[in-house]
Structure 1
Amino acid sequence: MSLKKQSHLAVAPYISASQNLPEATLRTFILGSLLAVLMAGANAYLVLKVGMSVSACIPAAVISMAVLKLFKNSNILENNIVQTVASAGEALAGALAMILPALILIGYWQSFSLVLTSSIILIGGGLGVLFTVPLRRAMIVEGELKFPEGVATAEVLKAGDKSSEVGLWDLLTAGIVAAVIKFAQSGWQIVADSINFWTRSGNTVYGAGGGFSLAITGAGYIIGFHASVAIFTGSIIAFYIGIPLYSTIMGVPADASSAYDAAMTIWNTKIRIVGVGAMILGGLWTIVELLPSLKKAIVSAGKAMRNVKERGQDSIPRTDRDIPISWVAGGSALFAVPLYVILDYVLETSHIDIGTSGYIFTGLVLLVISFLLCFFMAAVSSYMCGLMGSSNNPISGTMIMTVIILSFTLMLILGSHINFTVDPEAALSAAAIVILITSIVACAGSLGGDNMQDLKSGQLVGSTPWKQQGMLMVGVIASAIVVAPVFQLLFEAYGIGDIMPREGMDPAKALSSPKAALMAALAKAIFTHTMDWLMIGIGMAVALVTIMVDKMCIAMNSKWRFPVLAIAVGIYLPLDVTFPILLGGLVAWFVDRSIAKQKDASKKSLEKEEANARKNGMLLASGLIAGEAVVGILIAIPFVAYQSTDVFKFVPAFIEPFREQLGLLITALVLYWFYKAATNMKKV
């Protein structure tokens, strides 16, 4: 028997196809929508702050089980529907936060447009749901992909169905801890949120630093030790090699007021572009590597659809019924209308003067390319999430490729009419069009991968696929309502990148939005021909070496991997971000070692206890992320109302000199508590 068939026959749903339990109920609609809003807000904050997103499946499942246990006759399928809806909000907000703020950063928008932002989410999210319907059978039912988050979520759901203990206390405790510390950092400002030591010897600038964000530490724990080390390797290249080397050769910026200021200026204006170059080559390499597998997946999907058509829907078990393919085709066609309206509106209100016929032609070409890219990105995302998990979804690489494809397409169409190098307003409009379309493609791709994880957990617990796919649309709608106001609130409270909505704001508190800044720089540089090709070339060389090292690790069957995009992200992100990511990864490593030792010492099978300990760690990490993010959003309201981030400031004089040391001490204590709680295998 083939491996493929073995994989297929091994799937035994927790709830059989002959059982018809309630799934898409009123309470799942309400709870799922509320959690989608919460997860969307939290993930928007996290991505704007550090450029990273995390899966919301497990925390959403835990919260759902805790709440629905208060009702009579709740069941595992309802809990699966709730986490499906909630995770859609997280996926869409995270994807959009990686690209849409680029419109603020290039100066095209002065605030987030509610109508356009909501429309982008509805169109991109809707297409992401529809385009993965034909891929479900190929990748989940008949394929061999693991979908690790989907499997883990299913196990949490099944464990919660058998036990009254679902782990909500771990989630809440970590959330409260992170919330209090975040308020002490950004509200009272009694605790520093970073520490830096930089000095200068002649022309050479060197030093170290790091941040104390518990949300980022939680994200580091979730992505794991090896991935966090790969990201921090990029930081070593940037801060401990790049800055000293550049300053020694080229000198220190004349206007630098301190060694720290000089280091940050060199990194922000030069070394960071090395990260852009690495991302460009790394993103293209990732797509090229995926092409053979993606081709097989699409061919398999076509074969699976033909089999369904021949057998008919009635012959298919409840647990294997998708949204009918005719609905997929019709729904996709309907989404084409508002998408073309957006493209036509943006073109006609731009500084690109090509006449009515030119607008129509350009709009139609962009419409076709947008649809093809949405499907392609949804397929790539689904495959990668199935292969290595949502944390390894190459959304950055696919967005870079999308920006490049769209930019050169526009230049090809408009090049005979417009000289972008002498018309900066036209170049700005063209870059904005590229960013808007990429935002839609990013939503489709991100939701595609998230959707497949949810459908995998649904397959294992016995959900009805078409009901999950339909309820995903609820998560899309909830996200469309909440994301734009959250983006605008965070922008007005903290600023994004180097753009401040009002005078007197502290740039150190701004949300760096690293992924959006990258997309803004890339799109703008292509049209204005202002790319720093020397630094881009160095970045590509770094990416090439990284790819070779990673291939060597694979050839030697090493447990170490150095994904090129992880290294590139590490070069591009500040130490305030990558340091807590490394801390989270180190905690994950110590936790795994402790669990393994406890298991060896017991000399007996402890699968249940081990699984529970790993779940504790995931919930604690998710709680840290949610707690900090929620407080970050809530205190943004008075910050905006009073036009100041010092509304709650309270720093006694005797503490002022020790804020950094206090931040370091508190972070160390929280990490120790996290380690002890996550390694408690006796807690079942």
Structure 2
Amino acid sequence: MQNHSVNAAPLPQLTRRAIVLSIILAMILAAANTYLGLFAGLTIATAIPAAVVSMAVLRVLGGGHILENNIVQTGASAGSSIAAGVIFTVPALVILGYWDDFKYSWVLAIAGLGGVLGVLFSVPLRRSLIVDQQLAFPEGKAAAEVLKAGEHPEQGIRVLAGAASIGALAKLIAASGLRLVPDTAAHAGFIGKAIGYLGTNLSPALLGVGYIVGLNIGIVVVAGGILSWNVAIPVYSAFFLDTDPLLAARIAGSDAEGAAGMIWSAQIRYLGVGAMLIGGIWTLIALRKSLLSGVRSGLAATRAGAMKAIAHTEQDLPMKAVLIGLLIFTLPLALLYQAIVADFTVSLPMTLIMIVTGFLFSSVSAYMAGLVGSSNNPVSGITIGTILFASLVLTFLMGRDAALGPVAAIMIGAVVCCAAAIAGDNLQDLKCGYLVGATPWRQQLMLAIGAISCALVMAPVLNLLAKAYGIGVPTASHPNPLLAPQATLMASVAKGLFGGELPWNMIWIGVGIGVVIIAIDELQKKRGSSFRVPVLAAAVGIYLPLDLTVPIFLGGLFAHWVERTTGTHRDPDAAEKVHRKGVLFSAGLITGEALMGILIAVPIVTAGRSDILALPAGLQFGEVPGLAIFAAIGYLLYRVARSGAYEALCEGR
């Protein structure tokens, strides 16, 4: 770390070029994560690719030191957080039919103000979680390692750019582009009345996600998918379908794959809803002592800092400014809620719920980011908890049949989700800054700027994707839409609590499954096992189509093989550096595929045809070439990561 003395003058951090570069990167990464999240229900932390790009660009512009690069990655990392906060919730307003498209000013208010509130909520937590408790914050530590090793960023840029080109090309030739190969390779069949299903998506981005989250999470996610698709669906189709005549009538005449999809959509995915519900509640219970301790420690540090000079590396935004900011940025949201319900006796409680749950869940998010990282942070479970609590209060105030009830609950959840996502990201960035000697208040200010910048582009990107691919609900024009799994879930939960119909039997079974998973994870914790079973990761796997979870597992398997075949799992000193190349290559695959998905959407929307780029039928190939290309990209990821692991091992000697 840098010199932490009181009189040590820091190098310039919030430079004009750093701010401009950070804003540009934040917007690009927000767009990429928007596509990824709507497609697969997951987003990834973007600090490391942002740090690599920053080092290369600032070097070209002349100079660029570690603290300036740190500021760039801090603001740019808001791209993944704001994207997650928006796509997990805001599409629910379209799915519910409240909006026909994404309203620019409303999305800007939800994302921008929610993001700034997340920064302010997290300020009192820095000292406790980073300085006192020394939580891991894995992405923050990894970003710090990249910044410290930044003497030669050219290699990292080549890896990132090369992988992005591969990801973009793979997306271009897939089913939404040239249609040279399909998006998935899947097969299903009837075994008596039961349905058997096996398949994988051919997306390189999902391989990259799996590599980044690792084998442990990959196993848990795919196990959830297997439980849903290879256990629950066959059991339901064999023994319970006859008790659901409406669903049976819809399935009649469908092939096995179509029947499996309809059973999953109507019934089985709600097992994941139940598991997410109990997972969110358990997270709060498990973290209650740590959260209270963090808040007390942060407030005490603020009071102490007011009475004596402290080093720039310990200077947070002043608590007085935080409180004033909370008031200033809450008022527009209160007016927004009033515009929805037109009843002060409802909008005021909505605002209070947003503030209380926003701070509480921002604390949960910050703590979880310290434990498992931002990419694995259970923000969706946190948001479900918010929507449930808000719905229960609003049913008392508005009545269970209130047409605007689900909309009001989603609006509260959307702001809280943005705040919680940014809070977790803020602590990751502050951990990186702590390790390289940055000034906390400058990072906090930069992240707020990054959050607002991302909010500016969210509505146009969402509208473009909705028109090109469809979001959430299959229609005649978009039979295979971007699933937006979390937003669809939020809409279902909110609607179900306001007079709608939900398969509560499945939800309660899912709660029971979640309890069993929690018990297994607690047993693993007591045994001191390195393999854990986070309930929210399992719930996401249950809720997603199986073909999306398989490549995530394969990516985690590649990460595991890299460690085992190079022996780096036995070298703790090199642990932080082992996966640097693999992470950069994975981030490139994700970014390239996502950005190409957005670019492809432009001609689709302009022409009004989803097949505008499609090659003639005679030039379109089947699953086997698609699987071959997918396997080749996976092998390339493995080779690149393996070479990086050997380099890390040599550095550690």
Equivalent residue in structure 1 for 2:317, among 309, 323, 334:
323
> Letter of the aligned partner of 2:163 in structure 1?
A
Contact 1:17 1:319 in 2 (8 A): no
What is the RMSD computed on CA atoms of the aligned residues? 1.9
Aligned twin of 2:628: 665
Aligned twin of 2:170: 181
The Cα offsets for residues 464-507 of structure 1, whole Å up to 9 and x where unpaired, read as 1111111112212211210110011101110011155xxx5241
The Cα offsets for residues 312-358 of structure 1, whole Å up to 9 and x where unpaired, read as xxx1111211111111111111112101110110112xxxxxxxxxx
Cα drift, residue 72 of structure 1:
2.1
Is 2:128 the counterpart of 1:138?
yes
Aligned twin of 2:651: none
Q: What does 1:297-376 correspond to in 2, within 5 Å?
A: 297-311=294-308, 315-348=309-342, 359-376=343-360
Contact 1:190 1:651 in 2 (8 A): no
Aligned twin of 1:560: 531
The Cα offsets for residues 48-85 of structure 1, whole Å up to 9 and x where unpaired, read as 11110110010100010011111223211110000011
3-state SS, counterpart of residue 679 of structure 1: helix
> Letter of the aligned partner of 1:671 in structure 2?
G
Cα drift, residue 531 of structure 1:
2.4
Cα drift, residue 555 of structure 1:
2.2
CA distance in 2, matches of 1:303, 1:166: 45
The Cα offsets for residues 74-114 of structure 1, whole Å up to 9 and x where unpaired, read as 21111000001100122111221111101111111110010
Cα drift, residue 391 of structure 1:
2.4
> Letter of the aligned partner of 1:167 in structure 2?
G
Cα drift, residue 165 of structure 1:
4.3
Is 2:530 the counterpart of 1:572?
no
Q: What does 1:431-580 correspond to in 2, within 5 Å?
A: 431-498=406-473, 500=475, 504-508=476-480, 510-580=481-551
Aligned twin of 2:370: 386
Q: What does 1:603-642 correspond to in 2, within 5 Å?
A: 612-642=577-607
Contact 1:28 1:81 in 2 (8 A): yes
Q: What does 1:66-465 correspond to in 2, within 5 Å?
A: 66-160=56-150, 162-163=151-152, 165=154, 167-185=156-174, 186-251=176-241, 253-256=248-251, 257-311=254-308, 315-348=309-342, 359-415=343-399, 420=401, 426-427=402-403, 429-465=404-440
Structure 2 residues not aligned, in runs of 5+:
243-247, 649-653
| TM-score (normalised: structure 2) | 0.95
The Cα offsets for residues 413-467 of structure 1, whole Å up to 9 and x where unpaired, read as 223xxx51xxxxx33x110111011100111111001011111111111111111
3-state SS, counterpart of residue 175 of structure 1: helix
| TM-score (normalised: structure 1) | 0.90
- 531-540 or 45-54, which moves further after superposition? 531-540
- 458-467 or 644-653, which moves further after superposition? 644-653
3-state SS, counterpart of residue 528 of structure 1: coil
Contact 2:85 2:419 in 1 (8 A): no
Structure 1's consecutive aligned runs of 4 or more residues displaced over 3 angstroms after TM superposition are 11-17, 162-166, 605-608, 610-613, 681-684
> Letter of the aligned partner of 2:599 in structure 1?
L
CA distance in 2, matches of 1:16, 1:588: 42
> Letter of the aligned partner of 2:381 in structure 1?
G
Aligned twin of 2:33: 43
Structure 1 residues not aligned, in runs of 5+:
1-10, 349-358, 421-425
Specify whether residues 13 and 193 from structure 1 end up closer, same or farther in structure 2 by C-alpha distance, changes over 3 A only: farther
> Letter of the aligned partner of 2:54 in structure 1?
S
> Letter of the aligned partner of 1:616 in structure 2?
K
The Cα offsets for residues 387-419 of structure 1, whole Å up to 9 and x where unpaired, read as 22112312111101100110011111223xxx5
> Letter of the aligned partner of 2:538 in structure 1?
I
CA distance in 2, matches of 1:242, 1:412: 35
The Cα offsets for residues 545-600 of structure 1, whole Å up to 9 and x where unpaired, read as 11111122222222221111111111110022111111111111111112216x87
Contact 2:6 2:311 in 1 (8 A): no
CA distance in 1, matches of 2:310, 2:597: 48
The Cα offsets for residues 147-206 of structure 1, whole Å up to 9 and x where unpaired, read as 11111111110100x335451111111110110011000211001110111111321111
CA distance in 2, matches of 1:309, 1:303: 10
Cα drift, residue 606 of structure 1:
10
Contact 2:302 2:318 in 1 (8 A): no
3-state SS, counterpart of residue 282 of structure 1: helix
Contact 1:191 1:662 in 2 (8 A): yes
Cα drift, residue 13 of structure 1:
5.6
Q: How many residues align?
A: 639
Contact 2:223 2:538 in 1 (8 A): yes
CA distance in 2, matches of 1:155, 1:187: 38
3-state SS, counterpart of residue 243 of structure 1: helix
Specify whether residues 529 and 112 from structure 1 end up closer, same or farther in structure 2 by C-alpha distance, changes over 3 A only: closer
CA distance in 1, matches of 2:3, 2:208: 32
The Cα offsets for residues 342-376 of structure 1, whole Å up to 9 and x where unpaired, read as 0110112xxxxxxxxxx112211211121111111
